[in-house]
Amino acid sequence: MLVRGLVLCAAAGAEIDAVIMAKSVHTYGVDTLQRVLRDLPDAVERTDINRATREAMRPVRSDARAKIKSDSYRGGSLWKSIKILTLKRDDRRQYGFMGGVMAGPDYRKAPHAHLVEFGTGMRYRRTTRLTAVSTGMMPASPFMRPAYEKNKRQILDTFRREYAPVLQKRIRRLVRRHGAGA
């Protein structure tokens, strides 16, 4: 009995022709697929990843800003500091990311952001060498974690929607370069 199947590899757009007869399998086009998959990491560009990630992180930034009450004693510096930042090269290497974007406070503009997010224990201010006055404690008022938790599904969906066409374009270019179907 002869079963002939045509399998379309959706990711690469390459055709793989398979003929199955008894216990033997013959495939054509697998070598092209292997070359495309091998060269794919080099074809993917960091700027494309960052662009898609920036778009995906916008709801997190918006929700974090909405959660923060403008801190009047600093003129709203915490609210203004919530940004979508691109990671520097050293940070990307340290964490093993090819591209990197993060949403969160810019600590140069709001060095107190972690104190607001996580709160503090009892704090004391030294008045003299031997005495200190309690300045109280600050309860946690999380703004980044809830924003992330609320939008984590949307982040992935938006990233997929934004990055899929770019990835398809890169794969099609590789398939043409390696001569799929030839």
Q: Say what the pLDDT of residue 1 is.
A: 26
Judged by average pLDDT, the poorest of 18-32, 75-89, 113-127, 156-170 is 18-32
Determine how many CB atoms are found less than 10 A away from the CB of residue 180.
21
**47-105 pLDDT, tens per residue?**
888 889 899 999 999 998 888 864 445 557 888 888 998 877 776 666 666 567 788 88
What total of structural domains would you count in the chain? 1
**18-33 pLDDT, tens per residue?**
444 445 555 557 777 7
Q: Say what the pLDDT of residue 17 is.
A: 43
**145-154 pLDDT, tens per residue?**
999 999 999 9
Q: Say what the pLDDT of residue 48 is.
A: 85
Return d(Cα 86, Cα 54) in angstroms, integer. 8
- SS3 annotation, the chain: CEEEEEEEECCCCEEEEEEEECCEEEEECHHHHHHHHHHHHHHCCHHHHHHHHHHHHHHHHHHHHHHCCCCHHHCCHHHHHEEEEECCHHHHHHHCCCCCEEEEECCCCCCCHHHHHHCCCCEEEECCCCCEEEEECCCCCCCHHHHHHHHHHHHHHHHHHHHHHHHHHHHHHHHHHHCCCC
Q: Say what the pLDDT of residue 157 is.
A: 94
Note every long-range contact of 76-84, with CB atoms under 8 Å and residues 24 or more positions apart, other chains counting: 77/109, 77/110, 78/105, 78/110, 78/112, 78/113, 78/116, 80/109, 80/110, 81/105, 81/106, 81/107, 81/109, 81/110, 81/113, 82/106, 82/143, 84/54, 84/57, 84/58
Write out the residue range of the structural domain in which residue 10 sits.
2-178
Q: Give me the chain's average pLDDT, please.
A: 76
Q: Say what the pLDDT of residue 153 is.
A: 94
pTM: 0.67
Q: Say what the pLDDT of residue 16 is.
A: 41
Return d(Cα 116, Cα 12) in angstroms, integer. 48
